[in-house]
Amino acid sequence: MSTVAQDTALAADAAPSAAVRKTRPFVWSVRRELWENRSIFIAPAVTAGIVLFGMLLGAMNVPHPGVIVVTSLDAKDQAMAAQIPFDGAAAIIMVASFVVGFFYCLGALYGERRDRTILFWKSLPVSDLTTVLAKATVPLVVLPLVTYVVILATHLVLLLASTLILPSTGLPATLLWRQFPLLRTWSVLALLLACASLWYAPVWGWLFLISGWARRVTILWAIGPPLALDIFERLAFHTHYVGELIAYRLNGGLTQLFGTKLDARGSVTIDTDHLDPARFFASPGLWIGLLVAAGLFVAVVWQRRYRSPF
């Protein structure tokens, strides 16, 4: 009986260790990607620093008529004016993060084939599926998290700096603290980044596919075929379905997540004050895009398994 009990205990201890051994290659693969691509952290942080420096210089040189206009606004308009620099900083940092993700995906598989380090990585006991999943985790999970943390830090620095700068311009030191909806903005930002990660999944999948296939100038192979197809359609058929599809994949997530407003001239603008997550997750474009992304990543795994280096 004691032997049976010991065997049972050993089996119970072996089960978690086996699970750890299965996940360890994936974790270390993700860490390798972060070690080799420091721009994932550096670029958003540098962008935030430049934005902060410019905004702080601008705040210290606010003209007196501008101060009078701000103080004459009612509470609602003051809240809207206070949110402009925070939304602007967040938008710039998110654009910078998208650019980082774009070039990371283009070089994720191309770089290891170009310098032939793929021969070394393939000699390790790490499957192609694990490697591709680890690389895909960077634009889908890691980069949105880094972007979120950088934006939060930027907002806090702006708020702290406002307590020192605003009194010198004649405005209350706590103006932004009172008018800026901090918790709501951060929660909306978290939802926006999560939804954007899902929405852009097929874009990342396409870039990964080009990264694993192209022998050189990956950026031309990534951008050229869609643009050429759009131009051909416009010239041959006088339609623009391809262009609309590209535009929908790039900015359609915002129109699905947020409400839209129609003005008297018939133009549609995004209403950032009204979230509609149910419409976003019910959108066929989201689920079709995720299916396309899954197919692209399956092709990337197959491609890495059989594609030879240069």
Residue 66 has pLDDT above 50, yes or no: no
Q: Is 249 within 8 Å of 203 (Cβ atoms)?
A: yes
Please provide the average confidence, as pLDDT, over all residues in the chain: 79
Q: What digits encode the pLDDT tens for the residues 105-157?
A: 998 888 777 777 766 666 667 788 888 999 999 999 999 999 999 999 999 98
Identify the CA nearest to 49 among candidates 145, 147, 157. 157
Q: Is 222 within 8 Å of 106 (Cβ atoms)?
A: yes
> How far apart, in whole angstroms, are the C-alpha atoms of residue 213 and residue 288?
24
- Angle subtended by helix axes 128-137 and 201-213, to nearest 10: 130
Largest CA distance in the chain: 89
Identify the CA nearest to 132 among candidates 208, 201, 214. 208
Q: What digits encode the pLDDT tens for the residues 274-286?
A: 778 888 898 999 9
| 270 phi/psi in degrees, rounded to 5 | -80, 130
- Angle subtended by helix axes 143-169 and 75-108, to nearest 10: 150
Torsion of CA 78, 276, 245, 286, to 10 degrees: 140
- Number of other residues whose CB lies within 10 A of the CB of residue 135: 27
Q: What digits encode the pLDDT tens for the residues 68-80?
A: 445 555 555 555 6
DSSP state at residue 140: I
DSSP H helices in 170-260: 175-179, 182-199, 201-213, 218-237, 241-257
Q: Indicate the pTM of the whole model.
A: 0.83
Identify the CA nearest to 196 among candidates 126, 133, 139. 139
Angle in degrees, CA 136, 137, 140, rounded to 5: 90
pLDDT score for 276: 80
Identify the CA nearest to 143 among candidates 219, 33, 281. 33
> How far apart, in whole angstroms, are the C-alpha atoms of residue 130 and residue 133?
5
Q: What digits encode the pLDDT tens for the residues 12-52?
A: 444 455 444 666 888 888 888 888 889 899 999 999 999 98
> How far apart, in whole angstroms, are the C-alpha atoms of residue 185 and residue 79?
12
